[in-house]
Amino acid sequence: MRGCDMACALCHNSPTMPRKQTDENPFFDPFGKLALMAKTASSHGMTDHRFQRVLIVGASGGIGQALAEHYALGGAAITRLSRRNTGFDLTDPDGVEAQLGALAGPFDLIIVATGALEIEGVGPEKSLSQVNADALARQFAVNAIGPALILRHVPRLMDRQGAGVCAVLSARVGSIGDNRAGGWYGYRAAKAAVNQIVRTGSIELARSHKGAALIALHPGTVRTKFTENYLGRHPAVAPEEAAANIARVLAEIGPAQTGQFFDWKGEAVPW
C-alpha cells in the first residue's frame, strides 16, 4: 500500500432526527465566511496556542509529519500515530481499537492525516472500463472505513466542556458538486464517503460536545511521495507551507463551523 499515512494533497437510527442545515442553523456557512476570518487572523499575527494537546493520526506522512512539527514548535504536546512509527494500520480494526483505545486524552486538536491515492500499485481509474471491485474496496478501506474507525474514538478523546477540534484531511476531488473532470472513480467515491461520515459524525458530536467542531479539510496540492506521480502542471507547496496553511484555518474553527468542508484557504468546498 502506498501513501497510507499521507492525506490527500491533490485534491443507525437516532432517537432524534438531525437538524436541517439551513441559514437559520449556526452551523451553516453558505458564503465561506471562514476565509475572511482566517485571512484577518493571519494579518493580525493570531497564533494557534489554543491547541496544547494534539493527536495526529498519520504522523509519518508528508503533511502529518509537518503538522506535528508545526504544533510542536508552538509548544504543544504531540501524540503521533503512524504505520512507520507505531505500527498503526487503519485497515486493521483490531489494531485501530488497540492503539486509540490506549489513549486517555483529552486532546484539544485531533487531525486524521491518513489516506492513499495509489494502493498496492493501482492508481486512479481514468475510465469506467478500468473500475475494479478489489481496487474499489481497497480505496474505501483506506480512505473512508479507516477514518470512520478513528472517529469512533473522538467523542471519548475530547473534553465535553471544551472547544476541541477534529479535522479529517479529505480532498476536493471528493466533492460531488465540484466534479467537472470525471475519472478517479474509487478515490473520488471514497473521499465523498468520508465527507459524509464527517458530516454525520459532526451532528452527533454537537449533541454531547457543544463547543467542539468536526470538519473535513482539503489541504491543497502538496509535494509529497503521495503526489509525486500526479502533480503534472498543478502548482504545489512544500509540506511545511501546507501545515502552516492548515493551522491558520484550524485556529479559527469553532462550533459554528462544525460539519463543514473547507480548503486550505478557509473557503467552503461544495459537497
**pLDDT value for 220:** 87
> Mean pLDDT over all residues of the chain?
84
CB-based burial, 221-243: b 16+ in 10 Å, e otherwise: bbbbebbeebeeeeebbebbebb
Nearest CA to 75 among 41, 114, 38, 48? 48
**pLDDT value for 213:** 98
Pairing of strands 77-81, 53-57: parallel
**pLDDT value for 108:** 97
Of 20-29, 71-80, 217-226, where does mean pLDDT reach its minimum?
Answer: 20-29
What is the per-residue pLDDT across 160-201, written as a single tens digit (0 to 9) for each?
999 999 999 999 999 999 999 999 999 999 999 999 999 999
Angle separating helix axes 239-250 and 62-73, nearest 10 degrees: 60
Peptide bond into 106 cis (omega under 30): yes
Q: What residue type is assigned to position 212 of the chain?
A: A
Query: Nearest 5°: CA angle at 160, between 159 and 164?
Result: 50
Torsion sign across C-alpha atoms 230, 221, 190, 157: positive
Nearest CA to 123 among 230, 9, 220, 234? 230
Give the bridge partners for 168, in sequence order. 112, 216
The mean per-residue pLDDT over the stretch 207-222 comes to 94
DSSP 144: I
Task: Give the 3-state secondary structure percentages of the chain, helix then strand then coil, rounded to 5.
Answer: 40, 15, 50
CA-CA distance, 122 to 100, in Å (whole number)?
29
Confidence of residue 224 (pLDDT cuts 50, 70, 90): low
Write phi, then psi, for 169 (nearest 5 degrees). -70, 115
Cell matching residue 86? 507505531
**pLDDT value for 229:** 60
What is the per-residue pLDDT across 73-123, written as a single tens digit (0 to 9) for each?
999 999 999 999 999 999 999 999 999 999 998 999 999 999 998 899 898
Does pLDDT of 23 surpass 70?
no
Does pLDDT of 43 surpass 50?
no
Cell matching residue 100? 486509540
The domain covering 38-263 belongs, at the CATH homologous superfamily level, to NAD(P)-binding Rossmann-like Domain (3.40.50.720)
CA-CA distance, 76 to 203, in Å (whole number)?
28
Residues in the chain: 271
Q: What residue type is assigned to position 259 of the chain?
A: G
- Residue 155: its H or E element: helix 154-157
Nearest CA to 74 among 244, 252, 261? 244
CB 56 within 8 A of CB 67: yes
